[in-house]
Structure 1
Amino acid sequence: MIASGRVSWFKLDKKFGFVELGEGLGDAFLHVSVLKAAGYVTLPGGTTIRVRLETQADRRRVVEIIEIDTSTALEGEPEPIKRKNAE
């Protein structure tokens, strides 16, 4: 399933965060490995992303990030960090 949403929060020290999905879908787990595959290490809250989701036991998780728009990040959030050697 493909959906759009906004990063609720992401903690680099925990290596995960959550995305608030649009269309009343709730939220989805976001692991640092998925961010790294998209060329980032961390994203600020409020960042709009388009993602591919997987659902297991009524829980959603992001398995791929298709598009990232950091211009929607919340004021006061840290800057996004791009992965070294990202293409």
Structure 2
Amino acid sequence: MDRITKPKQVERVLCFSEKRGKLIWSHTYDCPYRTVSYTAGPPTSVQIHDGVAYSLGMMGHLFAFKTLDGRVPWSHDLHTDYEIDIPEWGISAAP
């Protein structure tokens, strides 16, 4: 995962080939860091289990990706969907 700030603030999840390091797929989503003091994010690692990659971004964007093609079977915005407060350091635990 990484973060881009220009031209707009987004987070990205990227999948690379294990053998050659070639980009297989990427997923980008809007993610302005409005309420966090630490802007060097996201601080979590993507977790992979049974062909699904799980990512959790700084502002609580939780995604499941099919590892083969990057398809998103489900996602949640934890802040909006569950009304959680985002700490000043953001969400920083691996899913």
User: Given the two structures, how large is their TM-score scaled by the length of structure 2?
Assistant: 0.31
**Of the two, which has the highest radius of gyration?**
2
Structure with higher RCO (Cα < 8 A, 6+ apart)? 1
Judging by fraction of residues, say which structure has more helix.
1
User: Given the two structures, how large is their TM-score scaled by the length of structure 1?
Assistant: 0.32
Judging by fraction of residues, say which structure has more strand.
1
